[in-house]
Amino acid sequence: MISSKVSTRVEGIEKLLFALFSLYLGIRWLGLLSSNSMVIDALVSSSFLAAVLMLNFGKEVKGGSIKDGIKFSISIMLLLILTLMGLSFFTGISLNPYASTLSYMANNTIFMVPRALGLVAAVALASKLFKLRSSLIVSTLIILSMNMSLSAILNTNVLALQNVLEVIGPSVLEAVAIVLITRRFGVVSALAYGLVLSGSIWLNPLLPNVRGELLGLIYIMINLLSITYVASPDTRLYGIGSKMGFKEGVLPIMITSILVLAVLILMKSGYYTLLVLTGSMKPHINPGDVVFIGPGQAKVGEVIAYVGPGRSVVVHRVIDIIQSNGHTSIITKGDANSVADPPVSPSHVLGRLIFKIPYVGLPVLELAKITGNIVSVAAIMLGAVLFTYMIVSMKRKFKIL
């Protein structure tokens, strides 16, 4: 009886904490905090975080759920570190603008990390206080409130590819992951997972030298892997079981990750896959054909790919190679064109045509005519396939959606 009363009182305190913190997030999201908002953020988030830990730490230690949850978070941390290091091998390393100096890292430790963990604590509480569907919706709104203010939503194209990959995708999937981790391992483990993700952004001074969209894709993959793993007891990682089944959950994302890594290795070795957009090489190469380009010296009569004006990639045939004053110029022309292209420097040549696959890229090409951006179409199609597979598998296995 006493234990039941204590549990009811703790739940009442958690509901009050969640309501007050949600109210604060709403005020902040509306942009009503102007002066010293970073300091206020840190104070409110730290206080909320401390209260949530006090209410849950002892109970979860006694229940034994923390040990497995911490193991899981450490595994994800190692996976994330290895992924970033592996990508750095191909792209080089650049300074993280958020943590490039000790003063930045100190500032992030004091202000940004507590703010991020406060949001994770709010998501974890939402997972405890609401049913699964409701907690997923509430948690997504909480995470997005940190990354997208009302003014940003009103003044930008929210659904632009850059926003989807850098902000919306990672945020939504992080919210789902934290909800499931809380239900599986508890609040403390969810906070450990949040620390891994926020620490890799705010406290990591070195990152791969890539655009934010690619980094966003990495965090999307990490969160997807966490979701499919935590969702349940068939797969094992450091002795921790999972619910989904290896084939339905972890395997598809592992295969996708391996394919992405293979593509990066091939590109590093000078091999490229290109979708032909125009008919300048008809009838030999048509729009919608996929061509495979490999390293090799350009020769007259061969088809090569080179970087043209505006960093566009051109696939045309070599009709002449001119040597003048120690400099080499390559003259190319599309088979269907009547005029040759401007001279090309050998340094701009990506490689020569190895083989082609006719018309397999036509669906992407047709969608690109509608959206105006072929990169967006390819990224959205890949993301849609992965996300649909995950949702269908989870719904079939657990009927949770």
Distance (Å, whole) CA 361 – CA 106: 49
The mean-pLDDT minimum among 15-29, 240-254, 325-339 falls in 240-254
Question: Is the pLDDT assigned to residue 73 strictly greater than 60?
Answer: yes
* 39 and 147, same domain (yes or no): yes
Band of the pLDDT at 193, cuts 50, 70, 90?
very high
**pLDDT for the residue 240:** 44
* 35 and 160, same domain (yes or no): yes
* 86 and 231, same domain (yes or no): yes
**pLDDT for the residue 282:** 87
**pLDDT for the residue 173:** 83
Q: Which two tokens stand for residue 129?
A: 């206080």
Question: Is the pLDDT assigned to residue 250 strictly greater than 60?
Answer: no
Give the β-pairing of 313-324 and 303-307: antiparallel
Higher pLDDT, 60 or 330: 330
| Peptide linkage before 283 cis (omega within 30 of 0) | yes
User: How many domains in the chain?
Assistant: 2
- CATH number reported for the structural domain that contains residue 332 in this entry: 2.10.109.10
Q: Where are the beta strands (DSSP E) in 159-289?
A: 206-208, 236-237, 240-241, 272-275
- Residue range 253-281: mean pLDDT, rounded: 72
**DSSP H or E run through 318:** strand 313-324
Band of the pLDDT at 385, cuts 50, 70, 90?
low
The amino acid present at 128, given as its one-letter code, is K
- Residue range 332-339: mean pLDDT, rounded: 88
Using DSSP's 3-state secondary structure scheme, residue 399 falls into coil
Question: Is the pLDDT assigned to residue 165 strictly greater than 50?
Answer: yes
Q: Which of 362, 205, 193, 375 is nearest to 276 (CA)?
A: 362
Burial class (CB in 10 A: 0-12, 13-18, 19+), 300: exposed
Backbone phi and psi for residue 343, each to the nearest 5 degrees, phi listed first:
-55, 145
Question: Is the pLDDT assigned to residue 222 strictly greater than 80?
Answer: yes
Band of the pLDDT at 354, cuts 50, 70, 90?
confident
Last residue of a domain, one of 267, 298, 327: 267
* 51 and 163, same domain (yes or no): yes
As beta bridge partners, residue 355 has 292
- Tell me the per-residue pLDDT of 93-121, one tens digit each, with 9 for 90 and over: 777 777 777 787 888 888 888 888 888 88
Distance (Å, whole) CA 157 – CA 148: 12
The mean-pLDDT minimum among 17-26, 28-37, 112-121 falls in 28-37
Domain-located, residue 396: no
Higher pLDDT, 34 or 126: 126
Distance (Å, whole) CA 25 – CA 127: 17
* 160 and 236, same domain (yes or no): yes
Question: Is the pLDDT assigned to residue 239 strictly greater than 50?
Answer: no
Q: How much is the pTM?
A: 0.62
Q: Which domain holds residue 316?
A: 272-359
**pLDDT for the residue 130:** 83
